[in-house]
Amino acid sequence: MSAEIELSDVRQVFRVRGDEGREVQEFVALDGLDLTVREGEFLTLVGPSGCGKSTILDLISGLSTPSGGSVKVGGRQVKEPGLDRGFVFQQYTLLPWRTALANIEFALEAKGGLSKAKRRERALEYLDLVGLSDFANRFPHELSGGMKQRVAIARSLSYEPEVLLMDEPFGALDAQTRERLQEELVGIWRRTGTTIVFITHDIEEAVFLGQRVAVMSSRPGRIEAVIDIELDRAATDEDIRSTAAFSHYRHQIWSLLRPEGVHRGAHLEEVHRVA
């Protein structure tokens, strides 16, 4: 299952305390942001720290509502969180007192409509999808970071969301584990066809995973460019990351993200005193 995501003219303003006084100011985190993620697409979103990446995912997930503009998933306005949208965070969010299997079963209980036996069957199916069949009865503290993140992905996929939102999910992992999980995730995406929005501040990760890479600028957060990634993954036995095409995309995105490329320093105009 998959769905299109459409953000149009989105604005997000936070009320924050001023640096010196106690007066409240408005901080414009996102402004005039347009982004469409096609049904079944794997889109990566890359941008400097603090540019508003997580803010965008919060809006798509329904954890927050925009100050202006519209956010739609599957043609419907997002009003609140729902199980049509799965979320995987950087921090491991498993329940420590439940096994890998029971963590997934618990999520399926929340979804409802499945018998206990069906929940178990489904949970095992998704543990298998992420290669953890043999670890079903392990508790989170008995799993490595990479395994915990795999369980979190399996959990999100188990309730078969139309959209999978991932906020720097591999950021805390070592380089090797991260590369393995990147490859697995692409495989999972091919098999499930779920629309994926994947946030990262790692350019290589963005190019490796994305069918398209959306590049953000900061203050206020906007989509600076959306780049089609055309890598012929089947054509080569060598690591796709060492091909000329890969370097080309990496350089293109790096150039867009250079300090001169993004509008830093403009932020003072974006902070208005609230009368």
Residues that bind Mg ion (CB under 5 A): 53-54
Residue 51 binding partner per list Mg ion, ligand ADP, none, with a CB distance cut-off of 5 to 8 Å that depends on partner kind: ligand ADP
Q: Is 53 in the site for ligand ADP (CB under 6 A)?
A: yes
Pairing of strands 163-167, 5-17: unpaired
Q: Which stretch binds ligand ADP (CB under 6 A): 51-59, 114-122, 158-166, 258-266?
A: 51-59
Rounded CA-CA distance 14/158 in Å is 34
Position 27: which residue type?
Answer: F
* Strand locations in the chain (E): 5-17, 24-37, 42-46, 68-73, 76-77, 85-88, 163-167, 195-200, 212-217, 222-228, 271-273
Sole binder of ligand ADP in the list 4, 11, 27, 179 (CB under 6 A)? 27
Give, as ranges, the residues between 70 and 99 that touch ligand ADP (CB under 6 A).
none
In the complex, the smallest distance separating the C-beta of residue 57 from ligand ADP, rounded to whole angstroms, is: 8
C-alpha torsion sign, points 128, 131, 135, 138: negative
Residue with the two structure tokens 């089947």: 234
In the complex, the smallest distance separating the C-beta of residue 198 from ligand ADP, rounded to whole angstroms, is: 13
Spatial CB neighbours of 265, under 8 Å, sequence gap ≥ 6: none
Residue 29 binding partner per list ligand ADP, Mg ion, none, with a CB distance cut-off of 5 to 8 Å that depends on partner kind: ligand ADP
Q: Is 55 in the site for ligand ADP (CB under 6 A)?
A: yes
Residue 16 binding partner per list ligand ADP, Mg ion, none, with a CB distance cut-off of 5 to 8 Å that depends on partner kind: ligand ADP
Sole binder of ligand ADP in the list 52, 146, 169, 210 (CB under 6 A)? 52
C-beta separation of 162 from 74 below 8 A:
yes
- The binding site for ligand ADP (CB under 6 A) comprises 14, 16, 27, 29, 47, 49-55
